[in-house]
Amino acid sequence: MSGRGARGTAPGDEVRITVLGAMPEVAPGDDIALMLTEVAVAGGLQPGDVLAVAHKVVSKAEGRVVRLADVRPGPQAHDLAEATGKDAALCQVILDESRAVVRRRRSLVVCETHHGLICANAGVDASNTAEGTVVLLPDDPDASARRIQHALSRAAGGRVGVVITDTHGRAFRRGLVNVAVGVAGFEPVLDHRGGRDREGRMLVATDQALADEIAAAAGMLIGKASGRPAALVRGVCTAPAPGRLDDLVRRRDQDVFRSSADAHGVVI
C-alpha cells in the first residue's frame, strides 16, 4: 500500500506498508522482541521504519492472559453481570483492568483503563485466545514497545519506531479502527501550532496523532486471524523521541464531554 503526500511526510514522499510474515502461536515467556525482529528483518527492516504490532501477541508473551475459571467475582462484578448479561468472572476482570466505568448501555461497558484509555471492556478481549481465557492489554505498553524498539533498532543499525495497536471504537463515529496503545522511538503527536496554513493563517489548535494514524493504516492490512500481527510502515517522517502513550491521551481538564457531564451530576 502506498500513498502520496500523506500527513507526517514531506510532500511527494511515498508511504509503504508491508505486512510481515506469519508468526507461530505466542505463549507466555516467549521473547516477543526477538520474534518480531526476526520477521521484520526477513521483511526488509530499515532504519526509519515504524513497526506496528497488534497488542495481543505482546500481551500473550507477557503472560497477560487470564483463565476465567480462576476468577472469583466480587459483589460489584455480580451487579455488573446482572445489568449487562455478561459472565460475572469476565466482569470482574473488566473491573480489575478499569480505573472507572465511564458509560454502560445494555451489554456495552465503556471503561477508562489504568493507562487512561477509554475503550469497551477495558481492552479485555476473548478473541484469538484459548476457550475460557481472555487477553488483557500489556501492563505497561510503552515499556513493552521500548523493549521491542531496542531490539529492532539494533538489528536495523539505526532508529526504528514501534507502535503497539488495539482496535477501539470512537465516540460519535461508527466502526472500529486500530489505535496506538503503546509507542516507542518517535514523537507520537506532532504539534503544528504556530505554523501557517496555505492561506497564511496561523494554526492554533492542530495536533496530529501520528501514532494513531500509523496504527490505523497498518490495521487495514493486518488480519485478525491470519497469524501475521505486524507490519512495517516506511516513508513516514518521525521525530526522534522516547515516545509515550500519555501524549495521545487527552487530559481530563481538557475533556469537554466528561467534564460537562460531571458538572451536571451525571454518574460516570
Tell me the per-residue pLDDT of 100-121, one tens digit each, with 9 for 90 and over. Answer: 999 898 899 999 999 999 999 9
Q: Is 171 in the same domain as 57?
A: yes
Assess whether pLDDT exceeds 90 at residue 144: yes
DSSP of 185-243, one letter per residue? SS-SEEE-TT-B-TTSPBPSS-EEEHHHHHHHHHHTTS-SSSS--EEEEES--------
Domain, as residue range, for 50: 2-64+137-263
Examine residue 221 and state whether it is found in any structural domain, yes or no. Answer: yes
- Judging by beta carbons within 10 Å of its beta carbon (0-12, 13-18, 19+), is residue 90 exposed, middle or buried? buried
185 and 208 both lie in a single domain: yes
Cell (9 digits) for 249: 491521551
List, for residues 204-247, the tens digit of each pLDDT value: 556 789 999 999 999 999 866 668 999 999 999 999 999 999 99
Would 268 be classed as within a structural domain?
A: no
The three grid cell numbers given for residue 175, joined into one nine-digit string: 466502526
Query: Which residue, 76, 111, 136, sits at the end of a domain?
Result: 136
> What CATH number is given to the structural domain containing 95?
3.90.1660.10
165 lies in the same domain as 46: yes
Short-list 241, 119, 253, CA closest to 189: 241
Among the candidates 85, 102, 136, a domain finishes at 136
Could you tell me the pTM of the whole model? 0.87
Regarding whether 223 and 184 lie in a shared domain, the answer is yes
Q: What is the pLDDT of residue 250?
A: 79
Q: Is there a single domain that holds both residue 106 and residue 34?
A: no
What gap in Å lies between CA 6 and CA 26, rounded to an integer?
34
Nearest to 28 by CA among 63, 56, 55, 64: 63
Number of domains in the chain: 2
pLDDT at 225: 60
